[in-house]
Structure 1
Amino acid sequence: MSADQPSGMAPLASLGQRFLARVVDTVILIVLDVVLSAAVFGGDLSNPGDAGRSKEILAGAATFIAYFLYEGAMTAARGQTLGKMLLRIRAARLEDGAVPGGVGWTRAAVYALPGVLVTILIGPLFWLLNSLWCTWDKPFRQCLHDKAARTVVVAAV
């Protein structure tokens, strides 16, 4: 066993696998945003500014809440979002390698809910810091949402 792998657990996922899994999940987020924005703006997305700033904020908040529900439910139930399934990686509890269960919701909350603050720039800055954290974290390459939930991302074996 190497020093950068939790005892008795599958190998840590590579940064490339994590990045590509997030790209897939971001595409899902964009689709959610388009669908929810269309619902909020009555299907007319040609000029959403006419609907007012409050509808834009409502649509953005609804998108990140929906993303939180997607991320939380899938991570709690199986440790994998669709992106992680595609890349054959999963989130695991740090102490025993098990599927995150309830802490999957904590992980999802720290990852997705700051996006609700996108209109005041805090959300995107936190999201960037959170996502990059695993590039320098030692020894388990955890992002901030992993640290909050005490999870790691490993190969799905």
Structure 2
Amino acid sequence: MSIGPGWYVDPADPDTRRYWDGGGWIGAPIPVDATPPEGPPPEEPPDEPAPASPTAPVSAPGIPADGQPLPGQPQPGQPQPGQPLAGQPRPGQPYPWQQPGHGHPQGPPPGWPPGGPPPGWPPGGWPGRPPEPRPHGLPLAGFGARLVARLIDFAIVFALNAVVNGWFVWRLVEEVTPYWREVFRRAMAGDSSTDGLPQPSDQAGGLQIVILLIATALWLAYEVPPMASGGQTFGKRLVGVKVVPMSADQPLGFGRALRRWNTLGLPTLLWYCCGLGLLLQLVDALSPLFDHPLRQALHDKRAQTVVVQLPRGHRTTPGERSTPDKRTTPDDRTPDDRTDPSGDTP
């Protein structure tokens, strides 16, 4: 599995982070709880070799002057206990081919596959369970929070439809009630015949189309503008979740918000086709349960967005990035990366 460039916890020294460029570690390590800079670290000038001391050579500890080791001591040329083998770096230090300015090419040595796992990691990717992604430093929203926000939004859109679509729905009910009343009466009497059933007029089909068009337009008008400016509908604001682009922490914009809504909202027009649109929307709504690691729904994948959980006490205004409320307490802040290592994704 190829691991993309980014700042990751150094497997050789879990208290530090280093930048992985897709082929090797580069740059100096930083503390694991420090905020990584944007992009790779700046290149460091090569270290100047220390001048040779004119002092006389001193024998290694535990080896007498005649050069013969004492019993139990390692042979000359063998590493001391706890010391790395020749050619291997100390814990937290880069490999020679990862050190700029030392005559080694930047990249893995022969035999290392391009884009493979960092040195010291088992083949196949992360050692153990991969850390939870934190887009833009924020945790991903859980499915429960997203579901509650969506139900709140559906309730609001339903109330709008009751006001705007109420007359058309009443007319449709009047058209189809005689048919279904007679069907129910015959079923109770054990009569399964369909002869002589009162048929709805041609106006019933037109009323269904008008109702679906109005319902779709109301949903679009309710969701797309606030999502484009602030990434939150009223339901998402109440629950404390927000939709952000994967590429940058900025407003979605109208085009991205419309693409995101199209995948979930436009199938409303297909409710007329034996409920096909409702089935498509159900599949889309459940898709975050099966998507890893970013928990994206189908409409998130189309718009390249993720849904994050805002810390308690944070508030947003349309067109602005989330800012902490002055009343936020230390207990309300997002845990640092020491307790929940970050696998930041771009």
- Bin the TM-score by the shorter chain: 0.7 to 0.9
Q: CA deviation at 1:140?
A: 0.6
Which residue of structure 1 lines up, in the alignment, with residue 27 of structure 2? none
- Supply the RMSD in Å over aligned alpha carbons: 2.2
CA deviation profile, 1:84-130 (whole Å, cap 9, x unmatched)? 00001110001123221131111112121111111112210110000
Q: CA deviation at 1:149?
A: 0.3
Residue identity in the other structure for 1:150: Q
Query: In 2, distance between residues paired with 1:4 and 1:115?
Result: 34
Q: Which 10-residue stretch deviates more, 89-98 or 18-27?
A: 89-98
Pair 1:31-2:159 in alignment:
yes
Pair 1:112-2:254 in alignment:
no
Query: In 1, distance between residues paired with 2:232 and 2:206?
Result: 34
Instruction: Identify unmatched segments of 5+ residues in structure 1.
Output: none
Q: CA deviation at 1:40?
A: 3.4
Q: Which 10-residue stretch deviates more, 111-120 or 14-23?
A: 111-120
Flag the structure with more relative contact order, 1 or 2, with Cα contacts below 8 A and sequence separation at least 6: 1
Query: In 2, distance between residues paired with 1:48 and 1:18?
Result: 38
Q: Which 10-residue stretch deviates more, 61-70 or 77-86?
A: 61-70
Q: Name the CA shift for 1:36/1:48 in 2 (closer, same or farther; >3 Å).
A: farther
Residue identity in the other structure for 1:96: A
Query: In 2, distance between residues paired with 1:128 and 1:45?
Result: 25
Residue identity in the other structure for 2:211: A
The answer on whether the counterparts of 1:92 and 1:100 sit within 8 Å (CA) in structure 2 is yes
Out of 305, 316, 319, the position equivalent to 1:151 is 305
Larger Rg: 2
Q: CA deviation at 1:48?
A: 5.8
Q: CA deviation at 1:53?
A: 2.3
Query: In 2, distance between residues paired with 1:85 and 1:15?
Result: 16
Pair 1:135-2:289 in alignment:
yes
Q: Which 10-residue stretch deviates more, 110-119 or 43-52?
A: 43-52
SS at match of 2:306: strand
SS at match of 2:219: helix
Q: Name the CA shift for 1:123/1:107 in 2 (closer, same or farther; >3 Å).
A: same
Query: In 1, distance between residues paired with 2:278 and 2:162?
Result: 19
Q: CA deviation at 1:65?
A: 1.8
Report sequence identity in percent.
Answer: 28
Residue identity in the other structure for 1:113: L
The answer on whether the counterparts of 2:231 and 2:242 sit within 8 Å (CA) in structure 1 is yes
Pair 1:55-2:182 in alignment:
no
Instruction: Identify unmatched segments of 5+ residues in structure 2.
Output: 1-7, 9-129, 177-199, 315-346
Q: CA deviation at 1:63?
A: 0.6
Residue identity in the other structure for 2:164: L
Which residue of structure 1 lines up, in the alignment, with residue 149 of structure 2? 21
Number of equivalences: 156
Query: In 2, distance between residues paired with 1:86 and 1:12?
Result: 17
Q: Scaled by the length of structure 2, what TM-score is found?
A: 0.42
The answer on whether the counterparts of 1:9 and 1:96 sit within 8 Å (CA) in structure 2 is no
Query: In 2, distance between residues paired with 1:148 and 1:30?
Result: 26
Q: How does 1:35-114 map to 2 (within 5 A)?
A: 35-40=163-168, 47=174, 49=176, 52-102=204-254, 103-114=256-267
Q: Which 10-residue stretch deviates more, 100-109 or 140-149?
A: 100-109
